[in-house]
Amino acid sequence: MKRRVHIYTAFAAAFVLMVSGCASPEKLVDTGNYDQAIEIAVRRLAGKKKIKDKYVDALEEAFAKANSRDLAAADRLKRSGRSDDWPRIYRLYRDIRQRQEKVAGLLPLADEYGIRADFRFVKIEELEREAKEEAALHHYDYGLELLQAARNGDRLAAREAYDELDKTRRYYQRFREVDAFQQEALALGTTYVLVDLENQSRQVLPQGLDRALLGLRENDLNSKWRVFHTSADNRVNYDYKVVLELVDLAVSPGRVKEREFQEVREIEDGWQYVLDERGNVAKDTLGNDIKEPRYVKIGATVLEHYQAKEASILGRMSFYDLARDRVLDVREVRADALFENYAATFRGDERALSKESKRLIGNRPVPFPTDIDMLLQAADRLKPEISRNLSRTNVIR
């Protein structure tokens, strides 16, 4: 998908460049594309000794009409009296300033007949400064309004307040008490989740199993608005609780299976004379004795020794909304651990062994892992599933 987006972006950029290269400033003015006309005219006029009057005329017209259009739009928005129009007003004044800066770099400008171009510049600095202040103030005031709702318990409003206050940085790196209010919004908008473990299996938990299961990387789970704790902090008022209930712990006894089987191969073992129909040594056309490879069958008896032991942990993850005292979701989780070991010995001719048998020859039986070790392995496999359920859940907001 990313590659496709890059291709579309590149295509769009190439299309704009193609249009810019082919379209004339005069035609762009006629179609109302004033800023594009200015861009092309400035590029064709910059650094030129012989100035074509058609480019100067197009630049004059596009400049005047673009500024007139943007000033009129800004005035209309101002008259509306809506504070949320100030960001748009600021962008209009910024566009006027940037447009004037482009043209100012060409001045003084005269065409090939010596006629000087006439550009009426707007004193935009004060207008832009006012709009910048008002735009930042709009986001600031709206952010404080949302923050008040957050103080009344609306966590989502706190997050909106944070983002709204952050928009003031489009205009000023530091604006009034934005930093302090954002910290308050962050605190009010953060969801705190306690992850706990309960043993419902009616079995004694092996030592260290609880730490293995809840030894989650909290930093990997945490996000901007969600913080997970695997041990309770008395200073925190938790919003949600996730209980990992251990339903069943199972470990099989170690199993041993043995099997004996034969492996046979036919191999080349020297040579022998070829005999004719009468039992005499056959001759070739030159009168030499004819020889051929001699094949013999060889065999080996393989004794294979297989060891296996399994463990499994079955659990449930229950998601609780503590404020409403209700269960939001229940998910089953499970993980298995498997121990296997193959060993083998043989009798007979080693050359008869297959590659698979050769790989096992020399391996020896080993002690079985303890039940605790098997359960800890299962816990290690269960932990990523627990983390995925915690990080991807949509019931915790």
* Domains of the chain with bracketed CATH: 2-122 (no CATH), 137-189 (no CATH), 191-397 (3.30.160)
Can you give the pLDDT at residue 22? 54
Q: CA angle, corner 22, sides to 16 and 24, nearest 5?
A: 105
Per-residue confidence band for 386, with pLDDT thresholds at 50, 70 and 90: very high
Look at residue 68 and tell me whether its pLDDT is greater than 80.
yes
Structure confidence by residue, pLDDT tens digits, 284-308: 888 888 888 888 898 999 999 999 9
How much is the pLDDT for 359?
86
Mean pLDDT, residues 44-61 taken together: 81
Quick count: other Cβ atoms within 10 Å of Cβ 275? 11
In angstroms, the CA 357 to CA 350 distance is: 10
Q: What phi, psi does 344 have (nearest 5°)?
A: -155, 150
Of the pLDDT bands very low, low, confident and very high (cuts 50, 70, 90), residue 112 is confident
Most confident of 284-293, 312-321, 360-369: 312-321
Q: Among residues 298, 308, 302, which one has the least CA distance to residue 358?
A: 302
pLDDT, residue 45, reads 83
Inform me whether the pLDDT recorded for 152 exceeds 60: yes
Alpha-carbon gap, residue 67 to 74, rounded angstroms:
10
Matching residue, tokens 């008490």: 177
H or E segment to which residue 341 belongs: strand 326-348
Q: Give the Cα separation of 75 and 67 in Å (integer).
A: 12
Query: 96: closest CA among 135, 51, 129?
Result: 129
Parallel, antiparallel, or unpaired for β 191-199 and 240-251?
A: parallel
Distance from C-alpha of 99 to C-alpha of 339, rounded to nearest angstrom:
73
Query: What is the rounded distance in angstroms from the CA atom of residue 41 to the CA atom of residue 25?
Result: 6
Report the predicted TM-score, pTM, of the whole model to 2 decimal places.
0.71
Across the chain, what does the average pLDDT equal? 89
Reply yes or no on whether the pLDDT at 110 is more than 50: yes
Residue 359: enclosing H or E segment and its boundaries? helix 355-360
Q: Is 46 within 8 Å of 37 (Cβ atoms)?
A: no
Quickly tell me which residue has 């050769």 as its tokens.
358
Q: What is the pLDDT of residue 378?
A: 95
Query: Contact, 272 vs 296, CB < 8 A?
Result: no
Q: Which of 185, 165, 186, 183 is nearest to 174 (CA)?
A: 165
